[in-house]
A = this chain, B = another copy of it.
């Protein structure tokens, strides 16, 4: 039963089992932050952890911290923690590099398993398409781009690798991993999943669904900090059959042997290349540690309630906005996309009123529903502000004419 008033929304928040997480984040007073799907907010523990890394581990212990402080092991250690959020095992995930670089590694490595085209849905976050286009050129493969709807039908014998984003970054539409993996298995193709908008947002069990390759982001729902290192997953059985195109000493079987010939490490380490940025990587660990304290089932259940409340309020108060995200929870992620020709101005007007969402060209206002930090009352208030912006046509303010925003 959805709350019918701000008071009812507040009552729901008082009984929320995830309520305790709100104070673990350092969100500014008075701000309603609906952009945790782009940059997750700062966990309160993170500044102290970073200060410890800088002042004590780096400043005092210096080079010794590579061993003593576990820096060298961090990509694998943090990978093991991330693995729990996707149903994977220890040794199947590493935290390293950027999502783009990791996607490149897995696409090129997987393409070597089978001749054929590389297939990608054209409504991925564009960087995925760019990575795949270049990887296809380099490996002499055809690059085919199709819409998400057409993806399943396009996976045929002539396809080697498929790149698919499970949760669409604009609409939040969610693909069915198991169904697509079934299709890929029938033709011997491999799917590389981009889970940037999935991890920490929707329940995931990659082994159950037959997924063997995935990459994802650390700075969205995992709250790892701006540009936090990304991660990659390779199912254990597949690891030693794949060779990363980007070799490097961190992926060598004997990194301190300093042998001149490359010999890939067994297991997931072979997908590491160079030295990792420890301040950013260990900040990511703080975010992941905090996330692991929550039950993913509770997170998802709350996401569904927040979405339903948001959608109901929009329908009740902002009829000129189109809800672009799927209404069936099984078919969406944890954000809501609203369509309007003035979406850019709407988002800017909201930001000026303390409600932060983001704009996606050409006509989408996007709002992340992050259950660890948002309450039902936040959603209620955000929709009230949105309704005011629409009623007053605040989006028409000439200050919002320029579209040079980076958000």
Chain B residues within 8 Å of A389, by CB: none
Query: A396 an interface residue at 8 Å Cβ cutoff?
Result: no
Q: How far does the alpha carbon of A362 sit from the alpha carbon of B51 in the complex, in Å? A: 36
Give the distance to chain B from A339, nearest Cβ to Cβ, in Å.
15
Query: A296 an interface residue at 8 Å Cβ cutoff?
Result: no
Q: How far does the alpha carbon of A33 sit from the alpha carbon of B256 in the complex, in Å? A: 21
Q: Name the contact of A101 in the complex, choosing from B57, B58, B97, B407 (C-beta under 8 A).
A: B97
Query: A145 an interface residue at 8 Å Cβ cutoff?
Result: yes
Query: A257 an interface residue at 8 Å Cβ cutoff?
Result: yes
Could you tell me which residues of chain A, from 78 to 130, have a CB within 8 Å of some CB in chain B?
Answer: 97-101, 104, 108, 122, 125-127, 129-130
Query: A360 an interface residue at 8 Å Cβ cutoff?
Result: yes
Chain B residues within 8 Å of A243, by CB: 134
What does the 1/0 interface line of A251-262 toward B look like (CB < 8 Å)? Answer: 110001111111
Residues B127 and A226 in contact, CB atoms below 8 Å apart: no
Chain B residues within 8 Å of A274, by CB: 97-101, 127, 230
Number of this chain's copies in the complex? 2
Residues A406 and B66 in contact in the complex (CB < 8 Å), given A98-B274, A99-B274, A99-B275: yes
Q: How far does the alpha carbon of A39 sit from the alpha carbon of B278 in the complex, in Å? A: 12
Query: A179 an interface residue at 8 Å Cβ cutoff?
Result: no
Q: How far does the alpha carbon of A56 sit from the alpha carbon of B228 in the complex, in Å? A: 17
Query: A59 an interface residue at 8 Å Cβ cutoff?
Result: yes
Chain B residues within 8 Å of A256, by CB: 361, 405-406
Query: A63 an interface residue at 8 Å Cβ cutoff?
Result: yes
Residues B100 and A277 in contact, CB atoms below 8 Å apart: no
Query: A46 an interface residue at 8 Å Cβ cutoff?
Result: yes
Chain B residues within 8 Å of A258, by CB: 126, 360-361
Query: A245 an interface residue at 8 Å Cβ cutoff?
Result: yes
Chain B residues within 8 Å of A259, by CB: 126
**Nearest-CB residue, chain B, relative to A64:** B407
What does the 1/0 interface line of A211-234 toward B look like (CB < 8 Å)? Answer: 000000101000001111110000
Give the distance to chain B from A279, nearest Cβ to Cβ, in Å.
4
Residues B248 and A356 in contact, CB atoms below 8 Å apart: no
Query: A285 an interface residue at 8 Å Cβ cutoff?
Result: no
**Nearest-CB residue, chain B, relative to A258:** B126
Residues A62 and B39 in contact in the complex (CB < 8 Å), given A97-B101, A100-B273, A277-B229: yes
Residues B139 and A248 in contact, CB atoms below 8 Å apart: no
**Quick one: which of A127, A256, A358, A361 has the most chain B CB within 10 A?**
A127
Q: How far does the alpha carbon of A249 sit from the alpha carbon of B42 in the complex, in Å? A: 25
Residues A59 and B26 in contact in the complex (CB < 8 Å), given A51-B47, A66-B407, A262-B134: yes
**Nearest-CB residue, chain B, relative to A273:** B100
Chain B residues within 8 Å of A5, by CB: none
Q: Name the contact of A225 in the complex, choosing from B134, B279, B351 (C-beta under 8 A).
A: B279
Q: Name the contact of A62 in the complex, choosing from B62, B250, B356 (C-beta under 8 A).
A: B356
Query: A303 an interface residue at 8 Å Cβ cutoff?
Result: no
Give the distance to chain B from A221, nearest Cβ to Cβ, in Å.
14
Chain B residues within 8 Å of A229, by CB: 277
Chain B residues within 8 Å of A317, by CB: none
**Quick one: which of A27, A227, A351 has the most chain B CB within 10 A?**
A227
Residues A98 and B273 in contact in the complex (CB < 8 Å), given A129-B262, A225-B278, A247-B134: yes
Residues A138 and B245 in contact in the complex (CB < 8 Å), given A71-B226, A279-B225: yes
Could you tell me which residues of chain A, from 370 to 407, have a CB within 8 Å of some CB in chain B?
Answer: 405-407
List 9 A-B pairs, Cβ < 8 Å.
A39-B62, A41-B59, A58-B226, A66-B407, A126-B249, A129-B262, A131-B273, A134-B247, A227-B275
Seen from chain A, the residues whose Cβ lies within 8 Å of a Cβ on chain B are 26-28, 31, 33, 35, 38-39, 41-42, 46-47, 50-51, 53-55, 57-60, 62-67, 71-72, 97-101, 104, 108, 122, 125-127, 129-131, 133-135, 138-139, 145, 217, 219, 225-230, 243-252, 256-262, 273-281, 283, 351, 356, 358, 360-361, 405-407
